[in-house]
């Protein structure tokens, strides 16, 4: 006969000294770089960001001669160059959830909060470390994808685009910024849900399930609502042209940042009020 062991709340220790925030940052950075999933997830995000544009560029070049005028008109060089961003975001989001949910699943979060009783510095340190690492990784990834795809498409004048053209640099670097914000949002979701499967499912539902469901609504409702969803608003950050029923790049970026801020606030409140 088995008995259930009651869950023992993590005691909130008295603050006996001042813990420098840079030490918390260093501690979280050490955990981030020493976990195997970090290498695999970030590596996958980097490779996917480059691989998809390269593949699409080769396919476009090989089939360009047999394409109809309408198909050719639908191919934009920037869409090809940033095709990997929409795929890489999933790898970055999964790691963002894992960064905190894994500590809850293994119980190591208790050691973390024993070392940092105030708790919130842990969240701030995780967010800063992950945001900096993701941005540092994705900026070279999107630059390589842009110049590699342009090198492959050099024989098609219609698909030539210069990095110095108005809006191009903003769109390319905006792809890196978008992935960083997605990672921050996912990390906050992980802190709210405290479960890996639940956090990933919540992110996937928000970014990949909810947008298609909007098409079941009347067209006027879909046009009014969809542009404010985090995925649709965020994608305007790396869009070159402003289409109908979409936000401007600046407004879209601010909307996605607002979603991130709201998720962080909720995570911070729950982190302070809940037992580990």
Does 4 fall in a domain?
no
Stated pTM of the model: 0.89
CA 197 from centroid of its chain's CA atoms: 17
Give the whole-angstrom CA distance, residue 110 versus residue 11: 9
Quick one: which of 210, 209, 211, 186 has its CA closest to 198?
Answer: 186
What pLDDT was estimated at residue 19? 74
The per-residue pLDDT for 44 is: 93
Structure tokens belonging to residue 57: 């560029």
How many Cβ atoms from other residues are within 10 Å of residue 258's Cβ? 13
Look at residue 9 and tell me whether its pLDDT is greater than 70.
no
Whether residue 119 lies inside any domain: the answer is: yes
The per-residue pLDDT for 168 is 94
Helix axes 168-193, 196-204, angle to 10 degrees: 140
Indicate the range of 48-57, 188-197, 237-246 predicted with least confidence: 237-246
Q: What was the pLDDT predicted at 97?
A: 95
Taking residues 67-81, what's their average pLDDT?
A: 88
Per-residue pLDDT tens over the stretch 252-265: 999 999 999 999 99
> What mean pLDDT do residues 74-100 have?
93
Q: Which domain holds residue 148?
A: 35-64+72-273
Q: Is residue 138 part of a domain?
A: yes
The pLDDT value recorded for residue 18 is 65
pLDDT of residue 76 exceeding 60: yes
> Is 203 a domain residue?
yes
| Rounded mean pLDDT, 42-48 | 94
Average pLDDT over all residues of the chain: 89
- In degrees and rounded to multiples of 5, residue 100 shows phi and psi of -115, -35
Question: Could you tell me if residue 227 is inside a domain?
Answer: yes
Q: Is residue 149 part of a domain?
A: yes
The Cα angle at residue 74 between residues 248 and 183, in degrees rounded to 5:
45
Which burial class, exposed, middle or buried, applies to 239 when counting CB atoms under 10 A from its CB (0-12, 13-18, 19+)?
buried
20 belongs to a structural domain: no
Domain count, the chain: 1
CA-wise closest residue to 203 among 173, 234, 237, 175: 234
- Quick: pLDDT tens for 89-118: 999 999 999 999 999 888 888 888 888 888
Residue 117 maps to a domain: yes
């Amino acid at each position: 006969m088995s008995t259930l062991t009651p869950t023992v709340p993590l005691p909130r220790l008295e603050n006996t000294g001042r813990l420098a925030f840079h030490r918390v940052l260093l501690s979280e950075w050490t955990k981030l770089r020493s976990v195997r999933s970090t290498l695999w997830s970030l590596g996958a995000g980097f490779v996917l960001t480059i691989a998809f544009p390269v593949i699409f560029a080769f396919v476009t070049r090989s089939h360009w001669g047999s394409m109809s005028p309408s198909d050719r008109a639908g191919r934009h060089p920037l869409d090809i160059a940033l095709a990997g961003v929409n795929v890489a975001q999933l790898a970055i989001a999964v790691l963002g959830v894992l960064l905190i949910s894994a500590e809850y699943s293994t119980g190591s979060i208790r050691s973390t909060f024993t070392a940092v009783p105030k708790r919130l510095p842990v969240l701030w340190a995780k967010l800063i470390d992950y945001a900096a690492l993701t941005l540092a990784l994705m900026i070279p990834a999107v630059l390589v994808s842009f110049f590699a795809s342009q090198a492959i498409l050099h024989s098609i004048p219609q698909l030539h685009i210069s990095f110095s053209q108005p809006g191009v640099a903003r769109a390319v670097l905006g792809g890196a910024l978008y992935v960083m914000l997605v990672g921050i949002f996912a990390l906050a979701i992980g802190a709210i849900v405290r479960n890996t499967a639940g956090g990933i499912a919540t992110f996937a539902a928000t970014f990949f399930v909810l947008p298609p469901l909007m098409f079941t609504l009347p067209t006027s409702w879909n046009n009014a609502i969809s542009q404010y969803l985090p995925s649709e608003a965020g994608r305007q950050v790396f869009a070159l042209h402003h289409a109908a029923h979409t936000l401007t790049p600046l407004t879209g970026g601010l909307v996605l940042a607002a979603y991130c801020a709201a998720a962080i606030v909720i995570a911070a409140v729950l982190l302070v009020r809940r037992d580990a």
